[in-house]
Each structure stands twice: as structure tokens, then as C-alpha cells.
Amino acid sequence: MRNHLVLGVSSLAAASAVFGAIESSDTLFRVSMATAYVGLVLFTITLGFGSVAALRGRRYPVSTDIRRDFGIWSGLFATAHVVAGLQVHLKGKMWEYFVRPTKGLLLPRIDPFGAANYTGLAAGLILVALLVTSNDASLRGLGSSRWRSVHELTPWALALTLVHAATYQLVESRPFGYVVLLAALAVTVVCLRLARARSARSGDGIRLP
């Protein structure tokens, strides 16, 4: 509970700071951006635990409270971002994020806007799956092997999230500062994941107690 209290207060404070720093009259847009960037930072930290252990020649345990707690809050912020983001454009017509009315038909969007939304939705669904299984009951119920197989979807969530975010930078011609922040987070997390992969291939890691 102490971890969640500290993480919750800190995350909400960070989101409030981002919300206040965004110059826009659209409240939903500001909420969407604040939850997106704070959630991405939390996700980066979550992925960083295993990667840092790998860099130190160790293998991280299947599940630990602190990493799981960061993962839970990243999932909560990602969910909040999806809810807010689907109301920013198109005056609440959420289905048009994914399909385009054409001559009486609803056809899948194959433009950059559609690609950004499809990848975002896919990443969001994976993160929800990770969120609802990030507890001891799920670990016991699924067993270590099956639980791990669910959480091995994490790299896919990462890749889809980065594609979603990068595409929106182009679609909305975001200010340079947003692009730099996203690039910095992307480079950080990709480098950490590559370091972890190299350590796993070398077989040097040992399981932490």
C-alpha cells in the first residue's frame, strides 16, 4: 500500500504538472497528453528493472512488488489515455478513429491517423491484459509459465506504443519539444531492452534471490 500511495501521488502530481504546462484550450487534449507521457515514463521504468539487472549480470525474478507496482500505474495511466484520447477528435464519434464512412459504407482507415489509432488500441489491449494479471492471485492461478507467457507480450506493447506515439507526432505536427521527449524515452527503453536481450543470449545472468 505504501508503494501504491507514493507512486499514485507522484504520478498524479507529474500528470498535473504536464497538464498545466500544455498550452491548449482543449481540456480533453491536455488530459490525453498528460496521461500519455506520464504513462510512458512509468512503462519505461517498469521495463528498466529487468534491463538494469541484466547489465549487472543478473537475471530479474519472474515478478517483484516494485516492478509490478510501476507496471500497474503505467497500465492505469495508459487506460486513462485511451479513454481521454478517443474523445479528443471527431466530436465523440469514436468509431471513426478506426473506420471511415465512404459511400454509405464503413471502411477501415488506412491513413496515418488510422494507423496511429489501430496501434494505440492494440497496445492498450495488451496493457490491460498485463494490468489485470499483475497480482499474486493471477500468478498463482496461471502458474509461472503461463503468467510469463502473458507478460512476454510486453515488448509488443512497447513497439506498438512507440509506433502509435511517433505517428501522432506526424499526424498532429506536434511541437519539437514533444518529439525530443518521445525520442529520448524511445532510445532509452530500446537500448535497455537490447542490453537485456544480449545478456539473455550470453547466459551470464543469474536469478536474483
What mean pLDDT is predicted for residues 202-208? Answer: 45
Predicted pLDDT at 205: 43
Q: Identify whether the C-beta of residue 64 lies closer than 8 Å to the C-beta of residue 49.
A: yes
Query: How far is 174 from 179, CA to CA, in rounded Å?
Result: 7
- In this structure, of 12-16, 42-46, 53-57, 168-172, the range with the lowest mean pLDDT score is 53-57
Helix H segments across the chain? 2-21, 27-55, 65-85, 112-132, 136-151, 154-171, 176-202
Q: In 3-state terms, what secondary structure has residue 94?
A: helix
Name the average pLDDT for the chain.
81
**What pLDDT, on a 0 to 100 scale, did the predictor assign at position 92?**
72
Distance CA 60, CA 194 (A): 15
pLDDT-derived band at 142, boundaries 50, 70, 90: confident
- 8 A C-beta contact, residue 40 and residue 106: no
> Which pLDDT tens digit goes with each residue over 28-62?
999 999 999 899 889 888 877 766 666 666 665 55
Cα separation of the two ends of the chain: 23
Of the candidates 35, 43, 122, the one whose C-alpha atom is nearest the C-alpha of residue 79 is: 35
Q: Determine the pLDDT at residue 195.
A: 65
Closest to 57 (Cα-Cα) out of 209, 154, 200: 200
Torsion region of 61: left, alpha or beta (phi above 0 gives left; psi -120 to 50 gives alpha): beta
Q: Which of 23-32, 61-70, 177-186 has the highest mean pLDDT?
A: 23-32
For residue 179, give the C-alpha cell.
518529439
Domain boundaries, the chain: 2-202
Statement: residue 15 has pLDDT above 70: yes
Q: How far apart are CA 74 and CA 22, in angstroms?
A: 21
Query: b/e for 184-203, b at 16 or more Cβ within 10 A?
Result: ebbebbeebbeebeebeeee
pLDDT tens for each residue of 75-131: 999 999 999 988 888 877 888 889 988 877 888 888 899 999 999 999 999 999 988
Which grid coordinates are listed for 158?
512497447
Q: What is the CATH topology of the domain spanning 2-202? A: Four Helix Bundle (Hemerythrin (Met), subunit A) (1.20.120)
The predicted pLDDT at position 119 comes to 92
Q: Largest Cα–Cα distance of the chain, in whole Å? A: 62
